[in-house]
Amino acid sequence: MTQPTPTVKVNINGEDFAVPQGARLIDAARDVAGVEIPHFCYHPHLSVAGNCRMCAVEIEGQRGLPISCNTTCDKDGMKVLTESDRVKAARKSVMEFLLVNHPIDCPICDQAGECKLQIYYMDHDLQPSRLEVDKVHYGKRIEIGPRVVLDQERCVECTRCIRFCDEVTHTSELRMVNRGDHNIISTFPGTSLDNDYSVNTADICPVGALTSADFRFQARAWFLKPNATVCPGCSKGCNVNVDYYDHMIVTDHNGKAYRLKPRVNEAVNKAWMCDAGRDEYKPINDDRVVAATVNGTERPADDAAIAARAALTKAGSAALIVTSLDATVEEMEALRRLGLDVFGAVRTVAVAVRPDGKADALLMRADKHPNRKGAEWVGVATDRKELAALLRGKQAVLVHRADLSTLDADGSVMAAFAAVPTRVVIAANTSPVTEKATHLLPAASFIEREGHWVNEDGRVQRMKRAYRARKGTREDLAFIAVLGGGRIPAEARTVFADLATVNPHFAGLTWESVGALGALPGVAEGVAV
């Protein structure tokens, strides 16, 4: 049985709180008292540097103004003031010092709108500069790595980026060099910031000194909306936010995604994600299938789905359903039921559409699919090597989100696919498979639909919809429901509730219990995960 964490009583701004013993004061103030203490250098997933002094507070009985990031709540009776006159004066001084040589180029800075320096100036400073001499100038637009751009003039020398490379990736590319007002962040001579997690340094930079080369000058932060979801790049299932423009800004009733950033989940990825995963937003916008067709002729999406249903029904048991390990558990279950309950004895298989790739001990996994374990739990997994044999002799095939051309070493899979008379394809992006479809149904991207993936550890995680499907497309389950003649639910919530009832791997879970951070199902019931 887990022992409760011991607590101590701390008085913060005149009110008593029970906080975990040993907690850092800056965390206790935020998590327990709801008091946000401003800070630049502190990051909860990095060691304490204590060099910005912005988080100073007043503690009864202690001299000076101790910094809350390096103060722990060890015993009862600590009395803390976070907004006293002395504290406010200290913050003003820190802000003035940091802004002495700052270029104040907010109108062209990517960090504008989410910059701690901007926010804290408005909250804690609001005084004109007293500087009467020229500012010191440093390097600008320095490509310190293939994915990160450095502007040394904006740096507040918090050293978060240095500590990240030292403590998380253990690659140590960055260092603080020179002294005094010539202090700058730089790489070691002859090296670049080229580790597999380099863009995390831009995420944790509190100002606009380090920016993502991919996102640079693409959008303004105050127009973007975050959507909490899961990275589809590998079986780790890192929790991320997709930042997007919604339909009110982007024309033609289509949203647009601009970047993926890590979302804190201590059980999965803490506060990090790999650089490769950041590119997973691009298929949301590019090479989309946006029109339904039947034998090459464009048709309304619902009409094309009805025609596809008729063709699949005619084939009867001489059909095959193929999905990918990118599909949600709800889509896999709906397809499995479509094959067994609607078409009768039609097999549903799930295939890996990407080969194994780079892996490490941090977050990157060799399996580049988000839902292999989900497929195993639902009962539709198969060996990709079987597919060509399974396709031979079939009269119809339904291919869901699977580019079969990626399975081909000798062309046998695509040849077998092309030989099937009826080829129904549900896809979000164009591929050699969509080009050969007799019935093409345009599907939503991974942030235009909802459902669940199961990561390598057996954690069921929510893929949340950001905005409605692109004009002309449908969510996958909407098409599957039409193919099933109304016998398959069109809503992910309904399919998930059914799964939790009949499948022991999902027993006890509800849509609400999975929540934003996912859940490990079956632990209490003894089901192996």
pLDDT digits (tens, 9 = 90+) for 488-515: 999 999 999 999 999 999 999 999 999 9
CA distance 163 to 522: 38
Q: In 265-316, where do the E strands start and end? A: 292-294, 297-299
Q: Helices 116-124 and 85-99, interaxial angle, to 10°?
A: 140
Establish whether domains 7-95 and 131-212 are of one fold. no
Q: Is the pLDDT of residue 484 over 70?
A: yes
Residue 81: what residue type?
A: L
CATH topology of domain 131-212: Alpha-Beta Plaits (3.30.70)
Nearest to 314 by CA among 483, 487, 490: 483
- Residue 234's Cβ-side half-sphere holds a number of Cα atoms within 13 Å equal to 23
State the chain's maximal CA–CA distance in angstroms.
85
Average pLDDT of span 68-91:
94
**How much is the mean pLDDT over the chain?**
92
CA distance 212 to 205: 11
pLDDT recorded at residue 1: 46
Q: Is the pLDDT of residue 301 over 90?
A: yes
Q: Tell which wins on pLDDT, 444 or 245.
A: 444
Parallel, antiparallel or unpaired: strands 292-294 and 297-299: antiparallel
pLDDT recorded at residue 251: 52
pLDDT recorded at residue 529: 37
pLDDT tens, residue by residue, 159-183: 999 999 999 999 999 999 988 878 8
pLDDT recorded at residue 383: 66
Domain 221-285 sits in CATH at: 2.20.25.90
CA distance 322 to 335: 9
Residue 271 backbone dihedrals phi, psi, to 5 degrees = -120, 20
Contacts of 415 (CB under 8 A, 6+ apart): 388
Q: How many helices (H) and strands (E) does the chain have?
A: 15, 21
pLDDT recorded at residue 333: 96
pLDDT recorded at residue 189: 84
Q: Is the pLDDT of residue 447 over 70?
A: yes
What distance lies between CA 222 and its chain's CA centroid?
Answer: 19
Domain 7-95 sits in CATH at: 3.10.20.740
Structure tokens at 500: 């939790």
Strand partners of residue 45: none
Residue 509: what residue type?
A: L
pLDDT tens, residue by residue, 378-400: 998 776 678 999 999 999 999 99
DSSP symbol at 523: T
What distance lies between CA 3 and its chain's CA centroid?
Answer: 33
- Other C-beta atoms closer than 10 Å to the C-beta of 510 total 13
Per-residue confidence band for 359, with pLDDT thresholds at 50, 70 and 90: very high
* pTM for the whole structure: 0.92
pLDDT recorded at residue 479: 96
Structural domain spans, the chain: 7-95, 131-212, 221-285, 292-514
CATH class, 292-514 region: alpha beta
Lowest mean pLDDT among 28-37, 87-96, 173-182: 173-182
